[in-house]
Structure 1
Amino acid sequence: MTIHKEGYKSIVITAIIFAVINLLSFYFISYSLPWLSWLIFVVTLGLLLFIISFFRVPNRQLTKGDNLVICPADGKVVVIEEVFDEEYFKDKRLQISVFMSPANVHQNRNPISGEVVYNQYHKGKYLVAWHPKSSTENERHSIVIRSAKGEILVKQIAGALAKRIINYLTVGQKVEQSAEYGFIKFGSRVDLLLPVGTKVNVQLNEVVKGGVTVLATL
């Protein structure tokens, strides 16, 4: 396991806060209220470990296949339904949505190999990520990857806590399936828009892993 580069600054800041709080606690509280000093240490250590864990990147055996749509994020499948896409396709698509809790790995991976033909950031609200309108009203970043099997739209969506979406791709870039394409900080959601009739390999509420789980077959 490694730590994602997007986490270095957050981890350093949290570590400094941890050190300052516990130094002050040691000098001013530990003598008269040792139990309180220990409580502060445990709580702040838990926060530090949580922040480190949030930016973890586990070692995995990644899944690949020309006709496979690989899950772009860790989390739970919260939507499998047909929707009308107003943004790019302008027709009906099959939407699969994965909700990422703060405890999940938040690295995002390419579901297919191909060429990036669309890349657009949208400002928006910060509704909870499982809200039905979060796909169209929240802050989000959409990309479309074109392969020999067709085009897939992948949408990074900010949640109530997530305030920063990172996307590394550019239009015209060639991408490899299951390779990293972005990161979302502190709770979020990823939507995929697939051709109607695509065979779905997962079920609602199924726990999935980015770069590993096969969401669908083209």
Structure 2
Amino acid sequence: MSDDSPAPTSAVDTPRSRVRLAKGASPWLVPTALTAAVTGCAALRSRRWAFAAVPTLALTGGMLWFFRDPERTPVEDGIIASADGVVQSIDPWPDGRTRVATFMSPLNVHVNRAPLTGVVKSVEHKAGGFVPAFNKESEHNERVVWVFDTPRGEIELIQIAGTVARRIVPYLEAGAEVEVGERIGLIRFGSRVDVYLPPGVEPAVTVGQRTTAGETRLDRV
């Protein structure tokens, strides 16, 4: 092999395999990790501290998993899924749009992504309850309503908090330009994301189908 030959690329080097921590994780992760570190050091000196060290270390590991933020490769065309999870329902709306609701369990990645390239027209926080995200009444939960101005028209996206997820962290403000698949916010713990397809757009997903934010196409070609 000559010196000019490209170096072999391993799976570890690909953007798809790189994982970082989600923006907005620090208020939860840092105190837990510090507690785990302190109790872990204390356990090395006295076994009595192991009763505190083991659960805090386990909790820290769980939070590292929960707040993971893997890289994604957005599809070039179409409206893409904004959330990892399972399609909970597909409902025709009175104004001609179609709502695709995706349930996110605590095991899913909870960083949400823009469904299309465009401009954030508005970001509005609305107070509400905290019933389970899989419950129909969860549409009245604490939520953040996004409206995107895109080449396909206005697209509405709603981040909905659940029983455990009581904090939604938007990454962008109104007026921001956004690329398809770009990170727009985080919902801490189990929750739901609704995307409203424009009138005349047929959904390409089905109820029960798993979606990957930034990669699964929601609209049919």
**TM-score between both structures, scaled by the size of structure 1:** 0.84
Please report how far the alpha carbon of residue 93 of structure 1 lies from its aligned counterpart in structure 2 after TM superposition. Answer: 2.3
Q: Distance in 1 between matches of 2:89 and 2:108?
A: 18
Residue 84 of structure 2: which of 74, 83, 91 is its match? Answer: 74
Matched, 1:179 2:197: no
Question: Which among 183, 188, 203 is matched to residue 200 of structure 1?
Answer: 203
Deviation, 1:97, is: 0.7
Counterpart CA distance in 2 for 1:95 and 1:16 is: 42
Aligned to 2:112: 108
Distance 2:33 2:146 in 1: 35
Give the gaps of 5 or more residues in structure 1.
Answer: 31-35, 85-90
Q: C-alpha distance in 2, partners of 1:123/1:47?
A: 29
> Deviations for 1:60-93, whole angstroms, at most 9, x for unmatched residues?
322231xx11001111110111134xxxxxx242
Secondary structure in structure 2 of the residue aligned to 1:70: coil
* Structure 2: gaps of 5 or more residues: 1-18
Contact map agreement 1:64 1:178 (CA 8 A) in 2: no
* Matching of residues 79-90 of structure 1 within 5 Å: 79-84=89-94
Report if aligned partners of 1:64, 1:70 keep a CA contact under 8 Å in 2. no
Match of 1:3?
21
Per the alignment, residue 11 of structure 2 pairs with none
**1:114 offset after TM fit, Å?**
1.3
Residue in 1 that maps onto 2:126: 122
Q: In the alignment, which residue of structure 1 is the partner of 2:37?
A: 19
Change (3 A) 1:60 1:119: closer
- The one-letter amino acid paired with 1:175 is V
Equivalence for 1:47: 59
What does the per-residue CA deviation read over 1:2-30, in whole Å, with 9 as the maximum and x for residues that have no partner?
11231133222111222344455555544
Residues 133 and 20 (structure 1), Cα distance of their counterparts in 2 relative to 1, 3 Å cut:
same
Aligned-residue RMSD, C-alpha: 2.1
Structure 1 window deviating more from structure 2 (55-64 vs 145-154): it is 55-64
Give runs of aligned pairs for residues 128-207 of structure 1, distance below 5 A: 128-135=132-139, 137-207=140-210
The yes-or-no answer on 1:96 pairing with 2:108 is no
- Secondary structure at the aligned position of 1:200 is classed as coil
Q: Distance in 2 between matches of 1:113 and 1:79?
A: 25
The answer (yes or no) to whether the contact 2:152–2:198 under 8 Å persists in 1 is no
Alignment partners' CA distance in 2, 1:3 and 1:169:
18
Q: Which moved more, 1:168-177 or 1:158-167?
A: 168-177
Alpha-carbon separation, structure 2, partners of 1:5 and 1:115: 21
How many residue pairs end up in the alignment?
A: 203
